[in-house]
A and B are shown apart, each in its own frame.
Chain A
Amino acid sequence: MSYYAGVDSGSWTTKAAVIDGEGHVLGTAVTRSGADLAAAAERAYATALANSGRTRDDIEAVWSTGFGRNTIPFADGSRTELDCHGRGVAHYVKGPLVVIDIGGQDAKVIRLDAAGHRLSHRMNRKCAAGTGSFLDEISLRLGIDIGELNALGRGATESLELSSFCTVFAGTELLTLIRGGKRPADLAMAAYRSLVKRIVAMDVLEGRIVATGGVVAYHPIMVELIGAACRGEVVVPPHPQEMGAFGAALAALAACEAHDTSDTAELVQP
């Protein structure tokens, strides 16, 4: 049996996934990216290998993705995160579909056709609004750990609006609401709704919608809000945060299969 791996070098976290030749996930890992992307990739890969019960010698190929995709010394190839998120999702969910990926630094909307081929993509502008960084900023303003934000938002009873386009201005708005005696739970929910408004403005979100990325993994409330905004169900596939790494592993698998096929094809040529 052959095994493959993918590493997604993201702005906040680095993810790794190890799969078998049929695309089954055997192990994953998530680590902070920090300033040394190569070291983070090494840590994530080593942990994913340990979690999968495999060694480096078992791995046929490792492909990378994410904004640091070209800085990973042990990668055999790379694809963009646009490709890998689409590829990973298409493995689980039949198209046509729309993938919404919300990461720490960017948000993406990717359209796939029935065969899983990419039709188009949109990325957020060069701005923190609409990305995971926005939720970090809001948590800081509320004086809580980011991990507590989802539970806090669940307790919302009053519908508040954060209307600003800008993360800094939204933070100022938040302070105004705090001074006005508004409850932290309602403010947390307002932050989530603000983020969703930015996401649904990126493209027409119709048909089957799939959500991936760290924000979706740690803030399930976002999935419900996106579903409500799009008036439909939002599918969250397995390991949403590691979807890019999984897609990169699938790219490694596809590249090896294509190579094998071409070798065979050469043999049967007259």
Chain B
Amino acid sequence: MTELASTNALRATMGEYYRALADAALRKTAPVAWCTSVGPAELLRALGFAVHYPENHAAMIGAARTANRYLPLAHAQGYSQDICSYLTSDIGAYLAGESPLKAYGLERAPAPDVLVFNTNQCRDVRDWFEWYGRELHVPVVGVHSPRAIDDVTEGDIDSVTRQLESLVAPLEQVAGTRLDDARLMAAMRASRDSARLWGACLETASARPAPLTFFDGSVHMGPAVVLRGSDDAAAYYRTLLAELEQRVENRVAAVPGETLRLYWDGMPVWGRLRALSTMFAEFHTSVVASTYCNSWAFSDLDPAEPWRSVARASLELFISRSEAPKERYIARMVEFYDVDGVIFHDCRTCPNNSNTRYGMPGRLTERVGIPTLVLDGDVNDLRCFSDEQARTNIEGFVEQLTDARGAAAPRGAR
């Protein structure tokens, strides 16, 4: 694997964000809001909140492979092992009094003044936030979004727009300030610029060889998630995009000797991100794109129409849609990135981000003739992931695709 030089800038950007968050929580430099990953971050930024994203926190727990220490603590509270392991590992970490943000001086996730959700991705985010709302006696507000949408209608947008507008008064009260239109427009512009640059970074992977992989993307998407509404995200993605474009020009491959190209649908397996990245590289297979990383490339935010454009963006997202548009989307990605196969991660505790359960892999194969593989696993609960089974499944898939091309076997004679 070829490491990206921008990783140092990424560390600096993310470190700055976490330090500001710690300052807000510990020195009370700003009110703290918790927000779901596609919640109304621009509104919160414009009101001066430091914004913490529990999904990002949970992903850090997963990547640190500490989730399985925390999960039993949440299960013991009556939160099932079959529900979102982001939720259960994050609450478990709170109950254990631990946080991966310790390096930034936070013993626990930063204490919130308000919790803001959007259910466009799942119901679990609301249940997650309501647990904290009860535990910490903090108000919980949010958007109850339509889900499984075929075509986004004006009615859907009206509904979400009204709900977003209705959040302003209670959030102003918590923030102790009035919403300033100029600040909201600036936050919208920052989000739009960041999203467009992030989208452009991801699209460089359509080149052969691809300059970045899904595994790189899962790490480098951090600013697109946690720095929405801040100019810092766009600044970082200008650096990353320049490096990726240079790689394309010089034909530098993220996976040296790229032979096969795959698309990944579903959540990452955070505790195995490095191991899977290494395994695919060993097979000269580049996982060039994913639904997951693309989910933060919503570039149609319009500062002139903040509420409606945020509403539209949150509804048009892949995860908010029904099977048919999701299938069409993946088919477009298969064509755009010119991949040889699609891996669907069936994430045990995340049904909303597992597109395997209503026959999509088979339909996609019929629709565009692309081979698919379903990989059982989980985003954070490593008890649901078998290294041996995953390796055999992936290696077998690579053998199948390689043989179909009439090329040499992936391992071949030693």
Contact = CB atoms under 8 A, between A and B. Distances in A.
Interface of A: 61, 67, 75-83, 106, 117-123, 125-126, 251, 255, 259
Interface of B: 365, 371-372, 374, 376, 384-386, 388-389, 392-393, 395-397, 399-400, 403-404, 409, 411-414
Contacts of A75: 414
Given A118-B396, A120-B372, A251-B409, 13 more contacts: A77-B413, A77-B414, A80-B395, A80-B399, A81-B396, A82-B392, A82-B400, A106-B389, A119-B400, A120-B371, A121-B397, A123-B392, A126-B389
Given A67-B388, A123-B393, A255 B412 contact: yes
B299 to A, nearest CB: 36
Contacts of A122: 374
Contacts of B395: 80
The 9 closest A-B pairs by CB, nearest first: A82-B396, A80-B396, A77-B413, A126-B386, A118-B400, A83-B399, A80-B395, A125-B376, A67-B388
Contacts of A81: 392, 396
Contacts, number: 63
A131 B294 CA distance: 38
6 contacts: A79-B411, A81-B396, A118-B396, A118-B403, A119-B371, A126-B389
Contacts of A77: 409, 411-414
B399 A255 contact: no
A119 B404 CA distance: 9
Contacts of B388: 67
B392 A67 contact: yes
Contacts of A82: 392, 396, 399-400
A122 B376 CA distance: 11
A28 to B, nearest CB: 22
Contacts of A106: 389
Contacts of B414: 75-78
Given A117-B403, A118-B399, A123-B389, A79 B409 contact: yes
A125 B356 CA distance: 13
Contacts of B400: 82-83, 117-121
A197 B365 CA distance: 25
A117 B374 CA distance: 19
A178 B413 CA distance: 53
A41 to B, nearest CB: 15
A121 B373 CA distance: 8
A118 to B, nearest CB: 5
A117 B371 CA distance: 13
B403 A78 contact: no
Contacts of A78: 411, 414
A76 B399 contact: no
A174 to B, nearest CB: 25
Nearest to B404: A117
A259 B396 CA distance: 22
Given A106-B389, A117-B403, A76 B396 contact: no
Contact of A76 (B374, B393, B413): B413
Contacts of A76: 413-414
Contact of A126 (B384, B397, B404): B384
Contact of A83 (B372, B376, B384, B396): B396
Q: Specify which of B365, B371, B403 lies most central, judged by the most chain A CB atoms within 10 Å of its CB.
A: B403
Contacts of B372: 120
Nearest to A116: B403
Q: Specify which of A61, A119, A125, A126 lies most central, judged by the most chain B CB atoms within 10 Å of its CB.
A: A126
Q: Specify which of B388, B399, B409, B413 lies most central, judged by the most chain A CB atoms within 10 Å of its CB.
A: B413
A67 B386 CA distance: 12
A122 B413 CA distance: 26
Contacts of B397: 121
A67 B374 CA distance: 19
Nearest to B384: A126
B393 A255 contact: no
Contacts of A126: 376, 384-386, 389
